[in-house]
């Protein structure tokens, strides 16, 4: 551990089909990582071509299983974040000839199933969003409707919603949609964020330049690697040791307060989790 501190990676994926996933957790723990939010991989990466909301259940169950395994490797613990990857809409519309409206309904039904796991306490938060690339207007409208459906669940369940969305430093409109649904904007987390963001809480990719911006800003933020994510962004993700290493680097550069914000205060504010109480400090 790093000075008995909790160190949280707010967004990564573990491959449930082989032990590479758990090896990544061991690498993370060996260099001082203590807590993980594990997001289910896109359903099609697991060979699931969903036709109903129920078809997502296998994806969620496999993620929950590997999160249990991950927790046993950590001085802290891991939690699952479950949802439907927004890129699915393009696979449905472009590859399978599904209408945007039917794609919307299917993705919302998948979120309904994810919400069941949050309600039962098996998952911590939901994952939604909208394509980070240009799409037709009707696909964009359907994607926004899916995201707003996730906000309704987040409001009802009082849980956070992680978003995969376009690169932006101003997502106040989206934060307003969450507030309209009854979900406080602080509980909306933009994954793969830069160091500066208006609206949702940024989950900052742990590159030094992005972290420096976030640390100097002094606002709530989280740190992530997006380890093993989408093949449409090859090479864009960071390795599982990155967050602990960057925590050391921030501390060496006098950013103690930012480390506390990212690993204690913001996790509590966004997810209601206590990364200190869930840490075994037995040396």
Residues engaged in binding Zn ion (CB under 5 A): 226, 229
What SS3 state is found at 266?
helix
Query: Which residue's CB is nearer to Zn ion, number 9 or number 226?
Result: 226
Give the shortest CB-220-to-Zn ion separation in angstroms: 20
Give the shortest CB-199-to-Zn ion separation in angstroms: 20
Query: Which residue's CB is nearer to Zn ion, number 152 or number 226?
Result: 226
Give the shortest CB-192-to-Zn ion separation in angstroms: 7
Residues facing residue 79 across a β-bridge: 37
Q: How far is CA 50 from the centre of its chain?
A: 21
d(CA 194, CA 214): 8
CA-angle at 80, arms to 186 and 203, nearest 5°: 35
Q: 199-212 b/e with 16+ CB inside 10 Å = b?
A: bbbbbbbbeeebbb
Query: Which residue's CB is nearer to Zn ion, number 215 or number 237?
Result: 237
CA-angle at 169, arms to 166 and 174, nearest 5°: 65
- Tokens 């906000």 -> residue: 151
Query: Which residue's CB is nearer to Zn ion, number 152 or number 229?
Result: 229
Give the shortest CB-256-to-Zn ion separation in angstroms: 28
Give the shortest CB-107-to-Zn ion separation in angstroms: 16
Give the shortest CB-43-to-Zn ion separation in angstroms: 13
Nearest residue to 164 (alpha-carbon basis) of 136, 195, 200: 200
Q: How is 87-131 classified by DSSP, letter by letter? A: THHHIIIIIS---HHHHHHHHHHHHHHHHHHHHTTS-SEEEEE--
Query: Which residue's CB is nearer to Zn ion, number 10 or number 229?
Result: 229
Query: Which residue's CB is nearer to Zn ion, number 56 or number 100?
Result: 56
Say if residues 161 and 154 touch (Cβ distance below 8 Å): yes
Q: CB-hemisphere CA count at 13 Å for 99?
A: 3
The sign one gets for the Cα dihedral 115, 116, 121, 123 is negative
Query: Which residue's CB is nearer to Zn ion, number 117 or number 227?
Result: 227
Query: Which residue's CB is nearer to Zn ion, number 4 or number 236?
Result: 236
Give the shortest CB-11-to-Zn ion separation in angstroms: 6
Give the shortest CB-63-to-Zn ion separation in angstroms: 12
């Amino acid at each position: 551990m790093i000075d008995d501190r909790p160190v949280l990676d707010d967004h990564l994926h573990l491959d449930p089909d082989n032990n590479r996933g758990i090896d990544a957790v061991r690498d993370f723990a060996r260099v001082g990582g203590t807590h993980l939010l594990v997001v289910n991989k896109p359903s099609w990466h697991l060979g699931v071509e969903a036709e109903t909301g129920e078809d997502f259940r296998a994806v969620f169950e496999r993620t929950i299983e590997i999160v249990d395994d991950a927790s046993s490797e950590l001085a802290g613990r891991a939690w699952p974040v479950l949802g439907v990857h927004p890129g699915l809409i393009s696979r449905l519309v472009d590859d399978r000839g599904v209408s945007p409206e039917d794609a919307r309904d299917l993705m919302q039904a998948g979120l309904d199933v994810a919400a069941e796991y949050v309600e039962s306490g098996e998952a911590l938060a939901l994952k939604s969003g909208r394509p980070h690339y240009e799409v037709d207007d009707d696909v964009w409208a359907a994607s926004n409707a899916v995201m707003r459906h996730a906000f309704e669940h987040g409001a009802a369940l009082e849980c956070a919603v992680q978003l995969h969305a376009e690169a932006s430093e101003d997502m106040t409109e989206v934060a307003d949609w969450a507030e309209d649904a009854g979900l406080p904007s602080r509980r909306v987390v933009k994954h793969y964020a830069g160091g500066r963001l208006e609206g949702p809480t940024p989950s900052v990719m742990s590159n030094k330049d992005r972290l420096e911006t976030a640390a100097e800003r002094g606002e709530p933020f989280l740190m992530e690697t997006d380890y093993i994510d989408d093949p449409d962004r090859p090479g864009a993700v960071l390795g599982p040791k990155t967050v602990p290493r960057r925590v050391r680097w921030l501390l060496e550069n006098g950013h103690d307060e930012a480390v506390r914000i990212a690993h204690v205060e913001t996790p509590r504010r966004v997810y209601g989790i206590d990364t200190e109480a869930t840490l075994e400090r037995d040396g």
